[in-house]
Structure formats: C-alpha cells, structure tokens
A and B are shown apart, each in its own frame.
Chain A
Amino acid sequence: METEMKFKQLLTQYTGLQPENISNDMRFREDLSMSSLDFMTLLGDIEDEFDIEFEESDQVHITTVGEAIELLGRYL
C-alpha cells in the first residue's frame, strides 16, 4: 500500500491529479494524457525513488497504473 501511495504521489507531479483520484485501471496514454517522453521520464524517477533498475523488456508492456505498480512490486 505504501509503495502504491508513493508511486501515485510521483504520478501526481506529472498529471496534477491527487493520488486518491488516480485509479489502477487508468491508462498512461489515453486516460492520463502522458506522452512516451513523460512515461519514460516517470520510469526514471521511479528508479531513483525506489533505488531499482527496470529491465527494458519489462517497460514496454506497461499500459496502466496497476500494471506499473505490479511491476514495481516485483523489483522491491
């Protein structure tokens, strides 16, 4: 839960939406209007925040907030 909240707080900086208004089924591109640059920059911030390093092959499959949180969970 703490991971999810931290992740959504990061996402707030990109979307302006409060964490409680970000649901896990939201899609980065279609629902949150994030460009590829935004998404990749967000991944970089997550890596810094959680001190992890994503495999590139994992990154391409993420389309929703829930998928990103699940992926993050696997690295922690």
Chain B
Amino acid sequence: MTTYKLTPAQNMHNIWIHNYGTQQVSGVSIVAALKAPMEFSLLEECIREEYRRSGCLRLQFTKPDKKGNVKQYIVSKEKPMGEIKLVDLSGLTYDEADSTMQHWAYETFDGDNIPMCEFRLVKLPQGYNGLFVHMDHRLIDASGMVGIMGDLFGLYASKVFGTKQPDTPADFKEVLLKDLEKCSNERRLEKDRRFWAEQLDTLGEPLYSDIRGRGVLEASRQKHNAPELRAADIVLDDLFVAVKDYYLEPEPASRVMKFCERNQISPTNLLLLTIRTYLSKVNGGQEDITIQNFISRRSTIDEWHSGGSRTIMFPCRTVIGRDTEFLNAALEIQLLQNRIYMHSNYDPALIAEEMKRRYNTPDNTSYESCYLTYQPVSVSTNSGRLKGIPMLVKWFANGAATKKMYLTVSHTDRGEMKFSYHYQTACYDDKDMELLYYYMMKIMFKGINEPYLTVGEIMDSI
C-alpha cells in the first residue's frame, strides 16, 4: 500500500480535527434530489461506478501519530464500497426530513483506515428523490462535491435515457502527486516563505477585529493580563454552530455582478472589502483588518475534474485608511489577493507557526473573527433530459464550527446571491448576523453606487 503525505489543503482540516479533538469539524454533507420518480437501483449503480471513477472517494487515512499527523492512501477501485441504504422520508413533513438529514450531517467517521464517505439514497417529501452524501473534508471540498454530484446525475441520465456518459474524471492520484511535488519544491517553498515573511516584516503583528466590536479583544487582554495583546481567544469547548441564510434578490445581485465585471474586480475581493469596512466601522475605525479567505485552488482542467480537497485559506490583511476611495480600496485588496494566489501552494500552518514564533501569542488565540468563501459554482443537472426538472440541493452544517463566523456566498439558480452565515453560538447570536448582513448590504451598495466615495464617508453614512 502506497501512502502519501497530506497536501496543505488537507492538512488544514487535519489540524482542526486534531486541535478540536473531533472529526465532526471536518464533515461535509449535501442532499441533491429531483422532483421526479427515480430508479434507485440504477442510482445505486451510478454511485458505485462513481466510487470507481473518482479516486478521492476511496481515500483513507492511517492512524494519527502523537501530533495528529496522518498519511493517506487510495483504496483499490476493485475493493467494493459498503452498503448504500435507501431511506424513505417521504411520509414526513419537509422540516422533519430536513431535521433527520441534519442529524446525519452531525455523524462522525471515527477510526483509522476506514472509508470516509457515506452515501444514502433518499425518498423525500413532496415527490423529491435523490441522494444524501456525507464525507470528510480531507477527501473533498465544495467544488469537488459539485463536480461529483454533476457526474453522478450525468451517469444516471446516461443509464435511464441513453444520453452520452459524462467524460471520465481526471486521475485523482496524478493530480495529488503533482500537488505534493509543487509543495515540496524547495525553490518554490523558499519564495513562498519569503512572501509571507515580508507581509509580517512590513506590517508587523496583525490586530484582531470582531463582529461585535472592540470589547472582545479587550476581554482577552484582561484575561491574559496583557494590555498590548493583539489576538483574541477562540472557543474550543463549545463548537455548536448555527446557520443564518439571507438571499439577495436577482436584480440587486445582478447589479453587484455587473459592478464587478465593469471594474474587473472579482466578487471575492468586493466581499472582502465589504466585510473589512464593517469590521473597521464597529472596531472604532481600525484600519488594520485581517479576514481569512478561502481559495479553491482549481485552475487546470485536471484540477477542476479530479475531485479532491483543494480549498485552502489564507489571511487577507489590509491596512486601508479612511481617505481611500471605495474602488481603489477594492483594487488594493485585489492586488494583494493576486499576490497571495501566486503563493497559495504554501501551507498556512507555517504562517501561523511563524506568527506564533515572532509574537509569542498565547495558545488558542486568533487575529480573525471572519472567514469568507465565495462559491461561484453550484450543483445542477445539465444532463439532457434531467435539465429543467426541479431540483432540491441543500448543504448541511456539520454542527461543529472551528471558526467564529464563516460566510459562504453563492448563487442560486433563481439568480439570487445567497449569504450563508455559519457562526459559533458561543460567540454570536442571530441578531449579530442580522446586523452584519444588513450593514454589509448597506456598505456594498453604497460602494457600488458611488465607488468614488471614500471608505470613511461610506462608514459615516450608513
């Protein structure tokens, strides 16, 4: 059996599992169902075929060492996958069925050298039928999951309607080996190390900013009896997460996207500016703000079509003064993000280690309260005869958050932008999220309507 190191993206999840003491923090679950009768035996056949086609579904991990490090290996496609249950929830109300699936999402994959993904066939209320998948994030990220679901429905359509089979996915192992080669390339590693060190050399120690304002940092300063402390405590013992979703209607959502297109600003960078402006506003005009931003490292055709867990987070730290015009601030963030992209093979754990070494921050503290992921791709059925059939897709929270507030922004098939706030209930409540969304919209639209206003003018006007 050949074992491989984890990539930095996988290692990020592995560190969380180790630090938080539960695999639950690494769970990812989705249900995808069509409002149509389904031939479940065929769908099961498709899942088993997908298991053979996509190497990432066959990943397993060795027993962790004392530091929590594990190795990965790909189980042979000849080894059959386990049982796939058919669960009938059609007699329940939608809320009851939703609650049942939510509980499945809380389940953990406990043990070493075991499969880390589980499929269920589901009959849902209101005539929806499909599948529920629960996996470990070290196997897959959201983009990878979207690809696999698309592939599965493509396979199903080919079996039922005789449409063309979806193309064979790229070889997961080949892409994994390329990734491992890149991140162990000494020259590249040194260049990345230099880049991240330069960030700290230039700006010094980051400064925490919280959705609730300065009080949170002040409380940490008191707790550690360190009046100059610049990082705040994180919660390790109460990981319960709640979710608050908001939908921005199609017309304003389209205005946001048009602004981005016209000014060649990526939506991620506009969102980063929006969040940082809010944090600045509620933290007494603080100009030095850091947000953790997730990057889905998929650029080559093979990277797009090989599944896997490629999403990785890096700190986006900017010092933007009140007098900076909104558009210029967005361009400043964009410039920084582009530089970060160039160094995104680096392991973010090394950045955290370096900060700890330089600033001797207390254990279990952080410089960030907000984490962002912008997810432009969504699950859909573009396979001939399935196209146009109403589809139910829902991502389920794993119930254990490693982050104070994690915002996922995506697009719905109705043209809306969805803002999904996952927050630790030990830190925030739904009122905090309501305020955050409200002010984010005020800031974003003030900015896109009057991009030459300064950030300070926008903060004062809302």
| Chain A residues at the B interface, C-beta cutoff of 8 Å | 13-16, 29, 34-38, 40-44, 47-48, 51, 53, 56, 59-60
Closest residue on chain A to residue B195 by CB atoms: A56
B338 touches A16 (CB 8 A): no
| Contact A44/B342 with A35-B266, A36-B266 known, Cβ cut-off 8 Å | yes
Task: Note all chain B residues with C-beta closer than 8 A to A41.
Answer: 297, 299-300, 341-342, 344
A13 touches B302 (CB 8 A): yes
A34 CB, min distance to chain B CBs, angstroms = 8
Q: Within the assembled complex, what's the spacing in Å between the Cα atoms of A59 and B339?
A: 10
B322 CB, min distance to chain A CBs, angstroms = 26
Closest residue on chain B to residue A35 by CB atoms: B266
Task: Note all chain B residues with C-beta closer than 8 A to A13.
Answer: 300-302
A36 touches B188 (CB 8 A): no
- B334: interface (CB < 8 Å): yes
Going nearest first, the 8 A-B pairs with the smallest beta carbon separation are: A40-B341, A38-B299, A41-B299, A40-B342, A13-B300, A37-B341, A36-B338, A16-B301
B334 touches A42 (CB 8 A): no
Known pairs A44-B342, A56-B339 / 18 extra A-B pairs, C-beta < 8 Å: A16-B301, A36-B341, A37-B297, A37-B341, A40-B339, A40-B342, A41-B299, A41-B342, A43-B342, A44-B182, A44-B188, A48-B182, A48-B185, A48-B188, A51-B187, A53-B191, A59-B342, A60-B335
A45 CB, min distance to chain B CBs, angstroms = 9
List 24 A–B pairs whose Cβ atoms lie within 8 Å, in order of A's numbering.
A13-B302, A14-B300, A14-B301, A15-B301, A29-B264, A35-B266, A35-B299, A36-B266, A36-B341, A40-B338, A40-B339, A40-B342, A40-B344, A41-B299, A41-B300, A41-B341, A41-B342, A43-B342, A44-B182, A44-B342, A48-B182, A48-B187, A51-B187, A59-B342
- B139: interface (CB < 8 Å): no
Q: Within the assembled complex, what's the spacing in Å between the Cα atoms of A38 and B264?
A: 15
| Chain B residues at the A interface, C-beta cutoff of 8 Å | 182, 185, 187-188, 191, 264, 266, 295, 297, 299-302, 334-335, 337-339, 341-342, 344-345
A14 touches B339 (CB 8 A): no
Q: Within the assembled complex, what's the spacing in Å between the Cα atoms of A16 and B170?
A: 13
Task: Note all chain B residues with C-beta closer than 8 A to A47.
Answer: 188
Closest residue on chain B to residue A44 by CB atoms: B342
With a 10 A CB-CB cut-off, give which of B301, B337, B341 has the most chain A CB atoms: B341
Task: Note all chain A residues with C-beta closer than 8 A to B185.
Answer: 48
Main secondary structure of the interface of B (DSSP, over half): helix
Task: Note all chain B residues with C-beta closer than 8 A to A35.
Answer: 266, 299
Task: Note all chain A residues with C-beta closer than 8 A to B341.
Answer: 36-37, 40-41
A42 CB, min distance to chain B CBs, angstroms = 7
Closest residue on chain B to residue A10 by CB atoms: B300
Q: Within the assembled complex, what's the spacing in Å between the Cα atoms of A53 and B185?
A: 14
Contact of B295 among A37, A42, A53, A56 (CB under 8 A): A37
Q: Within the assembled complex, what's the spacing in Å between the Cα atoms of A13 and B344?
A: 18
B299 touches A37 (CB 8 A): yes
Q: Within the assembled complex, what's the spacing in Å between the Cα atoms of A41 and B266?
A: 16
Closest residue on chain A to residue B301 by CB atoms: A16
Q: Within the assembled complex, what's the spacing in Å between the Cα atoms of A14 and B295?
A: 17
B12 CB, min distance to chain A CBs, angstroms = 17
B347 CB, min distance to chain A CBs, angstroms = 15
Q: Within the assembled complex, what's the spacing in Å between the Cα atoms of A16 and B338?
A: 23
Task: Note all chain B residues with C-beta closer than 8 A to A29.
Answer: 264
Contact of A14 among B266, B299, B334, B342 (CB under 8 A): B299
Q: Within the assembled complex, what's the spacing in Å between the Cα atoms of A47 and B341?
A: 14
Task: Note all chain A residues with C-beta closer than 8 A to B299.
Answer: 14, 34-35, 37-38, 41-42
Task: Note all chain B residues with C-beta closer than 8 A to A34.
Answer: 299
B230 CB, min distance to chain A CBs, angstroms = 28
| Contact A44/B345 with A36-B266, A36-B338, A56-B339 known, Cβ cut-off 8 Å | yes
B334 touches A36 (CB 8 A): yes
Task: Note all chain A residues with C-beta closer than 8 A to B302.
Answer: 13
A4 CB, min distance to chain B CBs, angstroms = 20
Q: Within the assembled complex, what's the spacing in Å between the Cα atoms of A24 and B188?
A: 28
Closest residue on chain B to residue A43 by CB atoms: B342
Q: Within the assembled complex, what's the spacing in Å between the Cα atoms of A47 and B185?
A: 12
Task: Note all chain B residues with C-beta closer than 8 A to A59.
Answer: 342
With a 10 A CB-CB cut-off, give which of A29, A35, A60 has the most chain B CB atoms: A35
Closest residue on chain A to residue B345 by CB atoms: A44
B21 CB, min distance to chain A CBs, angstroms = 33
